[in-house]
Amino acid sequence: MELQWTADDVFAFLRREFPQALGRGMQYEVLALEPEALDMRLEVDDSHLRPGGTISGPTMMELVDCAIYVLLLAHHMEEARLAVTTNLAISFLRKPQPGPLVAKVRLIKHGRTLSVARTDIVSETDGRLVASSEATYFMGGS
């Protein structure tokens, strides 16, 4: 299945229809977008850190969730606006150093009603894998 929207199209839609998704200092940048893969960078600042100087788990979970949603929007355009996360499991593998994170999303299954994706989160600071996740989305609006 080919992509219907570019990253710019997706972010224009999010700014217009779902501005709170880009609020709270979340600064995302799509590095690569293909039909079955997406690499998305999050610029991390002090608001994303927890005591001890590490990036918080909720920040990494939000990165995963947002990255998969961006990929689904690129596939289905506005029809995916009602897609919802039905499951998200994440393993935190090591303490990420403060600095940008990159979510590497790979679609495992892309169906009419359910889509499943695996996401690895890599620290841009040292190139190490810091978390791995699998999530399922229900394509409610498709």
Indicate the pTM of the whole model. 0.93
Give the pLDDT of residue 142. 42
In CATH, which superfamily holds the domain spanning 7-138? Hotdog Thioesterase (3.10.129.10)
Q: Are strands 101-110 and 114-123 parallel, antiparallel or unpaired?
A: antiparallel
Which residue do the tokens 């996740």 mark? 133
- Where do the domains of the chain lie? 7-138
The identity of residue 107, as a single letter, is L
Give the pLDDT of residue 2. 92
Section 8-30 average pLDDT = 85
d(CA 70, CA 32): 12
Interacting residues of 77 by C-beta distance below 8 A, sequence separation 6+? 4, 5, 9, 13
pLDDT tens digits for range 102-124: 999 999 999 989 999 999 999 99
